[in-house]
Amino acid sequence: MSTTTLAAHLSQPTIPPRLAELIGAVAKGCVEISAQVRRGAAGQIMGALGSENVQGEVQQKLDVLSNDILLALCAKAEGLSAMASEEMETIHPVRDVAPQGGYLLLFDPLDGSSNIAVNVSIGTIFSILPTPADSAGRAVAEADFLQPGRNQVAAGYVVYGPQTQMVLTLGDGVCAFTLDPDCDDWVLTNPAMTIPAETKEFAINTANARHWAAPVSRYVEECLAGVEGPRGKDFNMRWVASMVADVHRVMSRGGVFMYPWDKREPNRPGKLRLMYEANPMALLVEQAGGASFDGAGDTLDAPVTSLHQRASVMMGSKAEIARLRDYHAV
Ligand code: P6P
pLDDT in tens, 91-137: 999 998 888 889 999 999 999 988 988 999 999 999 999 999 998 88
| CA 247 – ligand 1 centroid, Å | 12
Encode pLDDT of 151-174 as tens digits. Answer: 999 999 999 999 999 999 999 999
Are the CB atoms for 138 and 98 separated by under 8 Å? yes
Q: What is the pLDDT of residue 241?
A: 96
| Residue with CA at minimum distance from ligand 1 atom 12 | 241
Q: What is the mean pLDDT of residues 35-61?
A: 77
Specify the pTM. 0.96
In the chain the first and final C-alpha atoms are separated, in Å, by 49
For residues 52 and 38, the model is more confident at 38
Q: Who's near 134: CB < 8 A, 6+ residues apart?
A: none
- How much is the mean pLDDT over the chain? 95
Q: What is the pLDDT of residue 108?
A: 98
Q: What is the pLDDT of residue 40?
A: 81
Q: What is the pLDDT of residue 123?
A: 98
| CA 241 – ligand 1 centroid, Å | 5
> Among residues 278, 257, 243, which one has the least CA distance to residue 199?
257
- Letter string b/e over residues 142-152, b meaning 16 or more CB atoms within 10 A of that residue's CB: eebbbbbbebb
Q: What is the pLDDT of residue 42?
A: 77
> Among residues 134, 131, 174, 128, which one has the least CA distance to residue 153?
128
For the CA atoms of 8, 9, 12, 16, the dihedral, rounded to the nearest 10 degrees, stands at: -110
Q: What is the mean pLDDT of residues 63-69?
A: 95
Atom of ligand 1 nearest to the CA of 122: 7
Atom of ligand 1 nearest to the CA of 111: 7
